[in-house]
């Protein structure tokens, strides 16, 4: 290859390299000037109602109820728990605002089933007994019988204990034909257990009662 041909070849290589450099520079400039993609703001989360909304509506319904309905709610609470409650505690437990409702306060204070000591309210049963032993002792004081309705709210399990005392033959539970109310009679522990003859039972069942 002659010197002239070598020079021409070198010149062409320089021109190619120059063109390549110009192209690279142009691409970089274009990339720099290209606008950044627009930032899309995420949609705002949907507004959620308070979880207390339903509870507040429930409380509002209770406080707008008639005085009798609010009293029943409080008395049921005290009868079931057998605990004493201040007005604030009643409000917390069953949402009846005794302090804000004078009619409810006075009705509770004067109710025969409610005891009020100046600070707190509690359930007041007719007979102050708390267990089966005291129940049996009370029934034995009434030889003529005692109404079950006067016993059943003495404490939560009174009716179960009455049935247990009946099953153990410590008492009789009979119905009054006039009032249709159950009466508990004491069974004298000094009397021996007796068995009624089957024939006598049949004769008794065959007796026709007047209408």
CA dihedral 66, 72, 75, 77 (to 10 degrees): -100
d(CA 85, CA 89): 6
What DSSP letter does each residue of 65-106 carry, written as one string? S-HHHHHHHHHHHHHHH---B-HHHHHHHH---TTT-HHHHH
d(CA 64, CA 25): 81
141 pLDDT higher than 60: yes
Average pLDDT over residues 91-109: 96
Average pLDDT over residues 79-107: 95
The predicted pLDDT at position 194 comes to 54
Average pLDDT over residues 112-129: 94
Task: Provide the pLDDT confidence category of residue 200 given band limits of 50, 70 and 90.
Answer: low
195 pLDDT higher than 70: no
80 pLDDT higher than 80: yes
pTM above 0.75, yes or no: no
d(CA 102, CA 81): 24
Which helix (H) or strand (E) covers residue 178, if one does?
none
Average pLDDT over residues 56-82: 94
What DSSP letter does each residue of 125-147 carry, written as one string? -SS---SHHHHHHHHTT-TT-EE
d(CA 75, CA 113): 8
Highest mean pLDDT among 170-179, 188-197, 200-209: 170-179
Quote the radius of gyration of the chain (alpha carbons, Å).
Answer: 46
The predicted pLDDT at position 175 comes to 81
Task: Provide the pLDDT confidence category of residue 47 given band limits of 50, 70 and 90.
Answer: very low
Task: Give residue-wise pLDDT tens across range 160-177.
Answer: 999 999 999 999 998 876
**Of 102-106, 195-199, 203-207, where does mean pLDDT reach its minimum?**
195-199
Give residue limits of the domains in the chain: 53-123, 132-206
Q: Contact 113/77 with Cβ under 8 angstroms?
A: no
Q: Contact 96/73 with Cβ under 8 angstroms?
A: yes
The predicted pLDDT at position 207 comes to 72
- What average pLDDT does the chain have? 81
| Cα dihedral 67, 69, 73, 75 sign | positive
Average pLDDT over residues 2-19: 63
Q: Contact 149/140 with Cβ under 8 angstroms?
A: no
The predicted pLDDT at position 35 comes to 55
Task: Provide the pLDDT confidence category of residue 156 given band limits of 50, 70 and 90.
Answer: confident
What DSSP letter does each residue of 19-65 carry, written as one string? HHHHHHHHHHHHHHHSPPPPPPPPPPPPPPPPTTHHHHHHHHHHHTS
Which helix (H) or strand (E) covers residue 121, if one does?
strand 121-123
More confident residue, 134 or 197: 134
């Amino acid at each position: 290859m002659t010197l002239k041909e070598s020079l021409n070849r070198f010149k062409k290589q320089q021109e190619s390299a120059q063109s390549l450099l110009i192209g690279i520079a142009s691409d970089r400039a274009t990339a720099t000037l290209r606008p950044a993609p627009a930032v899309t703001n995420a949609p705002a989360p949907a507004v959620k109602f308070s979880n207390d909304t339903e509870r507040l509506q429930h409380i509002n319904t209770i406080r707008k109820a008639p005085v009798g309905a609010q009293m029943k709610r409080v008395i049921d609470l005290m009868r079931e728990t057998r605990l004493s409650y201040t007005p604030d505690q009643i409000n917390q437990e069953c949402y009846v605002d005794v302090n804000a409702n004078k009619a409810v306060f006075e009705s509770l204070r004067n109710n025969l089933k409610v005891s009020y000591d100046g600070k707190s309210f509690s359930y007041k049963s007719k007979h102050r007994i708390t267990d089966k032993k005291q129940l049996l002792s009370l029934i034995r004081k009434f030889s003529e019988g005692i109404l079950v309705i006067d016993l059943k709210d003495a404490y939560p399990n009174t009716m179960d204990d009455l049935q247990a005392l009946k099953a153990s033959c410590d008492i009789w539970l009979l119905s009054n034909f006039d009032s249709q109310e159950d009466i508990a009679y004491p069974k004298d522990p000094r009397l021996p257990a007796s068995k009624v003859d089957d024939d006598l039972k049949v004769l008794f069942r065959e007796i026709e009662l007047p209408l």
